[in-house]
Structure 1
Amino acid sequence: MESSEGSFEDVANPLGSEPRGHRHWDAASGPRVGHAGDHIELEDIPALVQAGAEKGEVLWRRLENDRFQGIWYDMTEIALADYLAPTVSGVVATGRIAVLCRERGRPLKGFSAVRLGRDGIRDLVSSTIAHGLVRFRVLALAGSGWSCQRNAAMTTYAFELCVGEFPNIYNAWDRARAREPGPVVSLDAVRDTPYTDAAEERPGEVIQRLLPDTSDELAEIVDLRYGQGLDLGQIATRTERSPRAIEGLLYRLKGRLKEILPDRGARPQKRNHEQ
């Protein structure tokens, strides 16, 4: 069947694994298997979303034909997400995202990739991509989405949408984090608890007693940081880990300590033998 929007190629799959008319599409004049022109297949989508405007327009017309739903749109969204995941992760992990947002008039207050840690980066990136792709479809349905006249590749356009969404995602994350009780910020808090004779032990030993599943490697990092006062760079040299990885390990450790130690706002009771 043909229409002003294009036509499906009604080809039966001999293996019976696909519905008729789903895999092939010709935007110009109907079935043209093996010919050049506007004929595209599902396998072409990853390349088309990264192609220039002219080739991308063929896919866009196909998506418009389906009102941005169905198997062709699902595959397009997957291809965009596959491109965006490492791209958005890269600009967040390097801090480049702060520059991009500032250039767009939306600076990120207190942004630091080290402060986010690996888990924070992963959560922000996944949320940003999800929101960016929702906006991609909303704008497309409204008739103001990607255009071969206005935009470069669809991936570039989708990335710009993600940059636009990131300040909202980051600010929500920052507000939620501010409402959480702060983690223990140093082992001085551990030494004040009734659970340990920290003054007689190495910091790493204290942690392993409070949290028995703490690895020897993490206990060593605690000793180097809080016992010997080394900075993250010095610890990285000794442990063959990156400073960012060490920062993340210590932050998560502090979070676990926060769960088992008394509220930092209240001075813990001294043990009987200390009174």
Structure 2
Amino acid sequence: MDRDLWSGLAVFAAIVEAGSFARAATRLGLSASALSHAMRSLETKIGVRLLDRTTRSLAPTPAGEALLLRLKPAIDSVEAALGDLDGDRGRPVGRIRVSAHRPAALYAILPRLADFARAYPGVAVELVVEDGLVDIVADRFDCGVQHAMTLQADMISVPISGPVPLVYVASPIYLAGRLPPAAPDDLEAHRCLCYRHTSSGIVHRWEFERDGRAFERAIRGDFVTNDVDVMRDAAVGGLGIACLPLPHAERQLADGTLVEVLAGWATTLPPNHLYYPSRRQPTVAFRAFVDAMRF
């Protein structure tokens, strides 16, 4: 293959993955003008426009999308081969791109990254926090993290945490002068803070479990957000009662800015799982990352 053509294709894939010429230039250690010149040369050589560009954004054209679908497995294969060579030399290198929802990013992944960085200084990790559903293949992530294991058949999953307890919380500010709820029916008399799922747009139904009986209930949201940090901080500020993953509220429960309500009624989320396509050829660096994250 024409060496310049292959170089241009690699640049094209990097630009789409990064979402801009500037970010791709930073990752590749080149100037944005050099990447722009490489893209113009590539499109001229093959006679097809691959990118639609404006002053604010870029996106692959339909022809570019079709090319990427064929191009990505080849790039992954080359990266895997190079990663194995580095592994043979005893120094895994490369970049691992991870998509994770916020609680998993904060409490399952971040605590392990310092040890991983010390063990594998040549491996860079890009952690993208996204609470909605993500197509990790189309968005060129190496792996994703989620609770529910309703994955496609071609995905491999690895547990990276145990089950995650939920907790119902409110601030002493909110509860002052109010009778705390003792059972789910009591929530009708309270302000409730609810979470809207980014991908589906559905407001999360609160889940309860008591004496072996589990049920869920649609809660009137006096405040609704799609960000778990905002929901927690709203509860701390006295806006109402929230349902949170326990790790996301532990510090506030310890310092007294939040207190538990409905004790004994909260249920538990399934373990967090890291998942990736079974058809990908894992590099030495990626295998090391998966092992470091494994619960």
Same fold (TM over 0.5): no
Higher strand share: 2
Q: Which has the higher contact order (CA 8 A, sep 6+)?
A: 2
Higher helix share: 1
Answer with 1 or 2: which has the greater Rg: 1
TM-score, with length taken from structure 1: 0.30
